[in-house]
Structure 1
Amino acid sequence: MTPSQFRTWAVQQALPLWAGNGFDSGRKLFHERLDFNGQPIDLPALRLMVQARQIATYSRAALQGDYAAGDQALSCLEVVERRYHRADGAPGWIFSLAPDGRPADCRRDLYAHAFILFAYAWAYRLSGDKGLQTRAWEASVELREIFHAQNGGFLDAAPPYDAVRRQNPHMHLLEAYLALFEATGNEVYRNFASELVELGIGRFIEPNTSLLLEDFDSNWKPLEPFGHNRAEPGHLFEWSWLLQEYLRLYADAKEADKIHGVAKALHQTALVHTNGTVPAVIRNGVAESGAVINADTRIWPQTEFMRSLALTVPKQKLETDILLASVLGNFSTCYIPASLHGGWIDRLSADGKSVMDHMPASSLYHIYGAVCELSS
């Protein structure tokens, strides 16, 4: 599979599948799961995060001219605003919605709030609706009030359900701020992004190994003793790409050379942790020692690998093209087999067998992001 064939598959099969069978036209909300026959699976709750990811993806696809479901995405956003925002009378967005339209889970989740900002960014770019720009700002203000933490960054949830601080929601909040800055030109979002870049470089990355760690205590110290902390190579690629996006949008950023160096180090470190497999496969988890602690794979780290490879400097292009061809070939065979007609296998065991009986909608955001980067 070539990058062009990957794009064709996404545009002609994946996007139509999830805008068709993957959309509940009655509720005007996206389904979270399809079975391997492409049929919806009813669930007791629909998460805000999934709705926001699909809204952003289809807004972006419409803007790119890849798939004309922009009106569907904007209509879904209207329903999401009405059903999820302050649905229980309190500031912020509920976590999930029950089939009868009432709140299923009222917790406030930073990860989900980051994605609603991301959805607003792409919806605004598509529509030009100033009301969306205003509501995005209001949602950003709410987020910073709800999840405020005393010692940098944000709480994972409000009220907190544990004392662990996680890098993952901060990563996606950085992505949302960058998208909002590019969409609106409001430099406040770029300043917010700068805060998260500083936090990421200063706290999340273990300096001796260049591994981006996942979990921390309330003071941003690694949760476990050295050698026992978890890292996900897919997130190293994701952060590498985001840091380069930050520099693309802020070329004269403070310590730009340092940030570029960190982005390169994250990419190279993640590549080392493919564990020497051919073709390169990104495993779910490693320890600081380099030992693989979760040899299973998911679809999203493979797409983040592709997205990071797309930014490789020209002098390494031949080597990168060979690696990318190998990765895409394995991807087309193992994760998006033709028998699924635009669907995917999200998780594989260490020996390459599917460990799920459905396909989650949330993967489309990662897949289409890789498609766009490979095509740019």
Structure 2
Amino acid sequence: MPDASRSAPLPELTALFATVRQHFHDVIVPMWQGPGWNAELALPYESLDSQHQPLPPQRYRAMACARQLYVFASLIGEVPQAEERAAALFRSLQRHFHDAEHGGWFYSINPQGAPLDSSKDLYTHAFILFACAHYWGKVREPLVESTLNAALEVITRRFATGDGLYEASLGRDWSTRQSGPLQNPLMHLAEAFLAALSVRDDANVRQALLGLCEGMFQCFVDPGPRVMMEKPLKAVDNWFEPGHQFEWYFLLASSPLLRGGKLHTALEHSFGLTEQQGVDPDCGAVCAMLSLEPHASARDATQRIWAQAEYLRALTLRPGSETVLLRQLRALEQHFLHAQGWNECLDADGNVSRRDMPSTTPYHLLTCYRGLADYLA
């Protein structure tokens, strides 16, 4: 959130942000309005190549549809046809992915539109709740709110484990898969709960969010360095990811409800360690994975664009971070953004290691840019 006592931002930062935001509107959004849109299914293709041609579709995921729904719902009033596209995405979410027999939403469909992976995935349901909250906040249509309510109902009734946490995956008929809780779906559930609370007051959601954060603190935060692990503390072969540390940090620090709580305090404590071990101070590269044993060290040095975006967003809530913010925004523009779109991944040496552009990435860029816009406001 903006700090009223903060001095005016560096002019270079303001100018650079205007450039990258224009790139988003002029290059990235049109990719998904045009070549990235499968008009027959009314769904975004999963990925485009460097020439904006869709990669041969193997599947369509409900999560990808929901992320694009968030993007176009957020752009209503800013981008022509955004409201029409958001409406089409919302209809497709229900038409293609809703399970009329058992409730909830399928994970994916095949290229012909038939269910492919019919399991029930917390990550998917969290993004459906997140997208519907943002969309309902813009259009206030009863059908959207009823879908939001349905997502909340299946999450809290079907996935909940009774200790504030939630199963990562269940069968189509809600049968157990013994998946247990995993960090990433739970983080996006926290994000979805915050989105729901941003558009309406809901005591049950508030309590569920507080319970989730307590469960995360107890089961996922290492008591030594106080970093958020990817699997529960007792799991073997565990690790932590700088991008997720920064993503959690932003969610917690930006929320008056969560700021100052045990989970926020832990990630505040470990923020410096995550930067020291996970971010190259020269080029600003955020690595993908770190191991804790025997000391924090790189386990995967791949640089993913979403992790760069999450570090940028977290920095907007760190006092005295303006110089680092400028460095990181320059790194994003120079190493990841280009005239045809973006580089999804770079290897440890900074070479492009993934050239396709997934339909899910604009969500990360937009949340990052919204954080920067609030910072510069």
TM over 0.5: yes
Worse overlay, 46-55 or 201-210: 201-210
Task: Give runs of aligned pairs for residues 134-213 of structure 1, distance below 5 A.
Answer: 134-159=146-171, 160-161=176-177, 163-213=179-229
1:18 aligns with 2:32: yes
The structure-2 alpha-carbon separation of the partners of 1:139 and 1:164, relative to structure 1 and needing over 3 Å to count, comes to closer
Tell whether 2:249 aligns with 1:240.
yes
Counterpart Cα distance in 1 of 2:148 and 2:194: 13
In structure 1, distance between residues paired with 2:188 and 2:364: 12
Taking the aligned partners of 1:349 and 1:162, their CA distance within structure 2 comes to 34
Q: What pairs with 1:1-376 in structure 2 (closer than 5 Å)?
A: 2-62=16-76, 65-66=78-79, 68-86=81-99, 89-159=101-171, 160-161=176-177, 163-216=179-232, 221-224=233-236, 229-247=238-256, 250=257, 256=260, 258-288=262-292, 289-313=295-319, 316=320, 320-338=321-339, 340=340, 343-376=341-374
* Deviation of 1:246 (Å): 2.7
Q: What letter is aligned with 1:360? A: P
TM-score scaled by length of structure 1: 0.89
Alpha carbons 2:278, 2:298 under 8 Å: kept = no
Q: Distance in 2 between matches of 1:275 and 1:28?
A: 39
Once residues 67 and 116 of structure 1 are traced to their aligned partners in structure 2, the CA distance between those partners, rounded to angstroms, is 24
- Alpha-carbon distance change, 24 to 206 in structure 1, aligned in 2, over 3 angstroms: same
| 1:354–1:82 distance in 2 versus 1, CA, 3 Å | same
Post-superposition offset of 1:275: 4.9
Q: Following the alignment from structure 1 to structure 2, what is the Cα–Cα distance between the partners of residues 135 and 93?
A: 11
User: What is the SS of the residue equivalent to 1:215?
Assistant: coil
Aligned equivalents of 2:277, 2:121: Cα separation in 1:
30
5+ residue gaps, structure 1, are: none
Q: Quick check: 2:122–2:167 contact (8 Å CA) kept in 1?
A: yes
Q: Deviations over 1:38-59 (max 9, x none)?
A: 1112312101110000001110
Secondary structure at 2:99 match in 1: coil
1:274–1:280: 8 Å Cα contact kept in structure 2? Answer: no
User: Which amino acid counterpart does residue 92 of structure 2 have in structure 1?
Assistant: V
5+ residue gaps, structure 2, are 1-14
Q: Give the letter aligned to residue 323 of structure 2.
A: I
* In 1, Cα distance between equivalents of 2:34 and 2:150: 32
Matched residues, number = 354
CA distance in 2, matches of 1:329, 1:245: 24
TM-score of the superposed pair, with normalisation by structure 2: 0.88
Name 2:4's counterpart in structure 1: none
Q: Do the aligned residues in 2 keep the contact of 1:267 with 1:308 (CA within 8 Å)?
A: no
**What SS does structure 1 have at the residue aligned with 2:352?**
coil
Shift of the 266–189 alpha-carbon distance from structure 1 to 2, 3 Å rule, reads farther
SS in 2 for 1:209: coil
Q: Secondary structure at the match of 2:290?
A: strand
CA contact (8 A) 1:7 1:371 kept: yes
How far apart, CA to CA, are the structure 2 residues paired with 1:163 and 1:125?
33
Shift in Å, 1:202:
2.3
CA distance in 1 between partners of 2:238 and 2:244 (Å) = 14
Once residues 280 and 335 of structure 2 are traced to their aligned partners in structure 1, the CA distance between those partners, rounded to angstroms, is 18
- Quickly say closer, same or farther: Cα 1:66–1:189, change in 2 above 3 A: farther
CA distance in 1 between counterparts of 2:129 and 2:270 reads 26
Contact residue 291 and residue 297 of structure 2 kept, 8 A: yes
Higher mean displacement: 75-84 or 292-301: 75-84
Partner-residue secondary structure (3-state), 1:38: coil
Instruction: Report if aligned partners of 2:344, 2:355 keep a CA contact under 8 Å in 1.
Output: no
Counterparts of 1:282 and 1:148, CA distance in 2: 33
What are the Cα deviations for residues 28-71 of structure 1, in whole angstroms up to 9, with x where unaligned? 111110000011123121011100000011101215x2564122
Structure 1 contact 240–266 (Cα < 8 Å) conserved: no
Partner Cα distance (2:182, 2:364) in 1: 20
Matched letter for residue 130 of structure 1: P
Change (3 A) 1:311 1:36: same
Amino acid at match of 2:219: R
Give the Å deviation of 1:244.
1.7
